[in-house]
Amino acid sequence: MCGVLGIYGHKYVAQDIYDGLITLQHRGQDATGMVTYDGDVFHMKKGLGLVKDVFRTKNMLRLQGNVGIGHTRYSTIGDGGAADAQPFLSQAFYGVAMAHNGNLFNSHELKKELFEKDRRLVNSSCDVEVILNVFTKALTQQKLNGNVNFDHICNAASSCFKRSKGAYSVVSYISKQGMVAFRDPHGIRPLIMGKRKVGMYEDYIFASEKIALDILGFETVRDVKAGEVIWIDQKRKVHSKVLTNKKHIPCIFEYIYFARPDSMIDNVSVYKARIRMGEKLADQIKKSKIDIDVIMPVPDSSRTSAMALAQKLDLPYREGLIKNRYIGRTFIMPGQAVRKKSIKYKLNAMPLEFKRKKVLLVDDSIVRGNTSKEIVRMCKEAGAKKLYFASYSPPVKFPCVYGIDIPTSEELIGSDNSIEDIRKYIDADKLFYGTLKNVFDSCIVKKSDINDLCMACFDGKYKTGDVDKKVLQDVSESRLSEKACGSVEDSFDSEEPGDEQLTII
C-alpha cells in the first residue's frame, strides 16, 4: 500500500505536495519522495522515512515549480531501500516523472522483456520503474512531432494495461506537455481527481484518497474509473477515456483498514462503512448472549466500528488500550521481529479500565495472530476478568497480489486454522469474526459507484482472472526471499529520522 499525489498547479506547489503527503502518511512510512517541474527541469528529493523527516527547508527551497508528484511508500516488493523510493524519472521525451500505488505480479518478466527486447534497464525493484518504461516506450514509438496529444497518451496507457498485470494507480507528468493519471483495468487501487479555482487559474489534483483534496482545498471532480486514463494538457484542457471494459472491483480492505475514516473511496464513506461493519457485528454478537461489561477498540482503525457496536449493544465504550502515536503501525512494518518488538512499545493496557471487567476487544482484522495474542496477554495482565476478541472482518486466508502486504498463506493464521484453533492460539475467552457478506454489504451502498469488490484475501477469488498457482507461488517466494535478504532491518532503520537519503537533482 502506498500513497500517491499529483498536482498541476499554477505557482510553487511543493508545500501543497508536502501537506498532501502528510495526509497520506498512513498509506506508507518506509520512504517518501517528491518531484517538481519548473518549466525547464525536474527537481527531486527522495529518502527513507517519514515525510516530516525526509523533507528539510533546503529541499523545499530547491523543489521549485508549479507541477509536482509526491509519494509515500510502503514496500511490498524490493528491499525497501532508498533506490526503490518514488517518484521515478525517465529521460524519454524531455523527461517523464511517475509514481504509483500498487503492485505488478509480472514485473520480473516485464523487466526481462524490457532488457532483452527493448534494451531498457530497470535499475530498481520498484514496479513503477517498469510501468514508466512500458509507458515511455509506447509513447516514444509513436509519431509525436514534438508534441503529445491525447491519442498518444491513450496508446501509451493502453500498452501499460495490456502488459502490466496487477493493480496500480498511476500519476505522471510529461515535461512541457501535461499530467496523466490512470487506474488499472479493474480499479483495484483507489485514485480520485479534484480541482480548485484560484483567481483565473484552475488547479488539478490526483490523489489516493479524498482526504488529501479536502485538506488542500480542492473540490472533488470524481474517482478515476477502472481502466480510465485522464490527460490534462498544457492548456489545462481535461481529456478522459475508459480504455478497457473490465469489472470495477476496488479493494475491500481500504474500507476495513487502510484508508482514513474521513476519506471517501469510489463515493463510499469509509467512516460510514466502518459504522455499518460494527453494527452488523453487534447483531452477530447479540445472538451469542455472552455477558459483556465494556467494549474497547484496538486503536486506531477499529475505533469507529467498536463505537457503533457498543451503541448497538447499548454497552459502555471505553479506551483501555492507549497507543503511543510516535511509533509506526505494526501491520505496515515488514518483518516479524520488528512487529513483535513494536507491539510492546506501541500499546499500553490501562488496569483502571480492565480490572475485574468482562471486556470485548474489537479489531479490524487478524492477520498472523501474533499481535492479537500479545494484545490479549496485555489485557489479561491488566486485570480483565474475561477477554473476548472480535475482528469485524472475516478470517484473512489468502495472500494479496495487488499491492497490499498480506503475507503468504503459511503465515496467515486464518488460512488453515479453525476459529476455535485461532481463539486458543490468541488465548481469548471467545472469538468473533464478521462475515464477508456483512462486510461487503457495509461497503456497497446505493449511491456508490461500485457493485462489486476485490475480496480475494478472504475468499481466494482473484477476480482479475490472471492469478494462477504459479503467480501465487512466485509472490510467496519473492516475499520469503525478501525476508531472507534482511528487509526487516532496512525498514526498521527507515524509522530513524533522516537516516539515509537519496537526493537527485
Is 2 among the catalytic positions?
A: yes
378 versus 454: smaller Cβ distance to ligand SF4: 454
Residues 132-191 that bind ligand SF4 (CB under 6 A): 188
Q: Which stretch binds ligand SF4 (CB under 6 A): 190-198, 227-235, 385-393, 449-457?
A: 449-457
The distance of closest approach from Cβ of residue 456 to ligand SF4 in the complex, given in angstroms and rounded to an integer, is 4
21 versus 404: smaller Cβ distance to ligand SF4: 404
CA-CA distance, 141 to 431, in Å (whole number)? Answer: 58
Residue from 281, 457, 472, 488 binding ligand SF4 (CB under 6 A): 457
23 versus 393: smaller Cβ distance to ligand SF4: 393
Pattern 199-238, ligand SF4, x by CB under 6 A: ----------------------------------------
Give the Cβ contact number of residue 115 at 10 Å.
13
Residue type, 400: C
C-alpha cell at 479: 516475499
DSSP state of 46: E
φ, ψ (nearest 5 deg) of residue 244? -130, 170
Residues contacting ligand SF4: total by CB under 6 A = 12
- Specify the residue for cell string 461489561: 293
The distance of closest approach from Cβ of residue 90 to ligand SF4 in the complex, given in angstroms and rounded to an integer, is 27
The distance of closest approach from Cβ of residue 452 to ligand SF4 in the complex, given in angstroms and rounded to an integer, is 11
Residue type, 7: I
288 versus 473: smaller Cβ distance to ligand SF4: 473
User: CA–CA distance from 135 to each of 112, 151, 162, 391 (Å)?
Assistant: 16, 13, 11, 41
Four-residue CA torsion sign, 174, 177, 181, 182: negative
Should residue 455 be labelled a site residue for ligand SF4 when binding is judged by CB under 6 A?
A: yes
64 versus 415: smaller Cβ distance to ligand SF4: 415
CA-CA distance, 89 to 98, in Å (whole number)? Answer: 6
Which is nearest to 196 in space by CA: 171, 213, 173?
213
Whether residue 49 contacts residue 75, with contact meaning beta carbons closer than 8 Å, is answered with no
Can you name the residues that pair with 224 across neighbouring β-strands? Answer: none
CA-CA distance, 334 to 337, in Å (whole number)? Answer: 9
Q: Which stretch binds ligand SF4 (CB under 6 A): 21-29, 235-243, 398-406, 413-421?
A: 398-406
Residue from 131, 157, 387, 404 binding ligand SF4 (CB under 6 A): 404
1 versus 67: smaller Cβ distance to ligand SF4: 1
Strand ranges in 353-429 using DSSP code E only, listed in sequence order: 358-363, 386-391
The distance of closest approach from Cβ of residue 393 to ligand SF4 in the complex, given in angstroms and rounded to an integer, is 10
Q: Of 2, 443, 454, 457, which is the active-site residue?
A: 2
Residues 237-256 that bind ligand SF4 (CB under 6 A): 251-253
Residue from 366, 456, 472, 488 binding ligand SF4 (CB under 6 A): 456
Q: Which stretch binds ligand SF4 (CB under 6 A): 311-319, 326-334, 336-344, 399-407?
A: 399-407
φ, ψ (nearest 5 deg) of residue 242? -90, 120
Should residue 454 be labelled a site residue for ligand SF4 when binding is judged by CB under 6 A?
A: yes
36 versus 393: smaller Cβ distance to ligand SF4: 393
Concatenated DSSP letters of 235-271: T--EEEEE---PPP--BHHIIIIIS-TT-EETTEEHH
Four-residue CA torsion sign, 327, 4, 194, 16: positive
Q: Which residues bind ligand SF4 (CB under 6 A)?
A: 188, 251-253, 400, 402, 404, 406, 454-457
Residues annotated as catalytic are 2
